[in-house]
Amino acid sequence: MAGNDVLYLVIPCYNEEAVLPETARQLLNKMNSMFERGMISRESKIMFVNDGSKDKTWEIIEELHASNPIYSGVKLSRNKGHQNALLAGLMTAKEKADMAISLDADLQDDVDVIDQMVEKYYEGNDIVYGVRSARKTDTFFKKFTAQGFYKLMQAMGVEIVYNHADYRLMSRRALEGLAQFKEVNLFLRGIVPLIGYKSDIVTYERHERFAGESKYPLKKMLAFATDGITSFSIKPIRLITTCGILIFAVSILMLLYFLVVHFTGRTVAGWTSMIISIWAIGGLQLLAIGIVGEYIGKIYLETKERPKYIIETVLND
């Protein structure tokens, strides 16, 4: 399908010097082939967002931009994390683009489905989700944790697209919708379905990371999952309430039991049951306070309304 809309590819980069030149080359080929087929406007860009990298990532972006103005760059003032970097890029792209596709710098997201995404956009979809068909290349650990993550999210009532990460196309009007979400605790894959509009999916096989290593160690993944749940669901708090009610009911039964024991005169019994309940309830209370604290922490951060990112430089002409 042909059209003349402006496409921006938005790529967050954190210490990606090892993959960036190859990523740039492959994306340029892709853009050129779409220009030739008259699918997109020649004003389209490949926009790299440097998320406060400590290596030569920004220097490489500057060189790319100097060599060919199709490469554009956004430099954040410091490292703000994948989600914030992505948002910074999308919000910058929104000024000039009719549609933007976000993808990772490491070529794990199959570049060849970009065409399909653009076609679906011309068919009238405002959001096109890239969905992984298989996880052949992931390590067992990654597969296991990632699938557990999606299951847990679903159980907690967070509406997310299964096996969809952050590889997606969004139209300008969807980006404008996204801009209206003011929350500081960003979890894009939870927010995007809330924007609405007509959407579709394309499936792809996720490749192995081209070079360099994952910037998502277990610690970051766990933080990401906790954030996803507590920013979108109050189920954990409800669970605590339910637990509280159940335990209260049990304690009333226990009371009855104790009274019976007392009046039948068999009073010195049950040290074990007592010590167990002290520990169990103590633990439960700490857990409950912790979960409530997690939400209070979120409220604290939201009320401060701190900027999600600060842009230092934009290379785009």
Residue from the set 53, 57, 72, 108 that interacts with Mg ion by CB under 5 A:
108
Minimum CB separation of residue 167 from ligand UDP in Å reads: 10
Q: Tell me the window of 63-71, 104-112, 183-191, 244-252 that interacts with ligand UDP (CB under 6 A).
A: 104-112
- Selected from 9, 20, 74, 85, the binder of ligand UDP by CB under 6 A is 85
Distance, in Å, from the CA atom of 156 to the CA atom of 238, rounded to the nearest integer, reads 11
User: In the complex with Mg ion, which residue's Cβ is closer, 84 or 108?
Assistant: 108
Question: Site residues for Mg ion, window 78-107 (CB under 5 A)?
Answer: 104, 106
Residue type, 108: Q
In the 8-state DSSP scheme, what is residue 185? S
| Beta carbon of residue 288, minimum distance to ligand UDP (angstroms, whole number) | 32
Both tokens of residue 51?
């998320």
**Three-class SS state of 210:** coil
**Type and span of the H or E element at 130:** strand 127-134
- In this complex, which beta carbon is closest to ligand UDP, that of residue 198 or of residue 220? 220
Residue 105's contacts (CB-CB under 8 Å, 6 or more residues apart) are: 11, 12, 13, 16, 19, 20, 23, 48
Per CB under 5 A, 51 contacts Mg ion: no
Q: Which of ligand UDP, Mg ion, none sits in contact with 14, Cβ below 5 to 8 A by type?
A: ligand UDP
Q: Does 23 bind Mg ion (CB under 5 A)?
A: no
Q: Which does 233 bind (CB under 5 to 8 A by kind): Mg ion, ligand UDP, none?
A: none
Contact between 132 and ligand UDP by CB under 6 A: the answer reads: no
Q: Is 110 an interacting residue with respect to ligand UDP (CB under 6 A)? A: no
Tokens at residue 181, please? Answer: 């979400």
In angstroms, give the least distance from the CB of 163 to ligand UDP. 13
Tokens standing for residue 306: 């701190």
12 binds ligand UDP (CB under 6 A): yes
Alpha-carbon distance of 264 to 260, in angstroms, equals: 6
- 197: tokens are 């509009």
Q: How many other C-beta atoms are found inside a 10 Å radius of the C-beta of residue 228?
A: 21
The number of helix segments (H) and strand segments (E) in the chain equals 10, 8
Given the rule CB under 6 A, which residues bind ligand UDP?
12-14, 16, 51, 79, 81-82, 85, 104-106, 108, 214-216
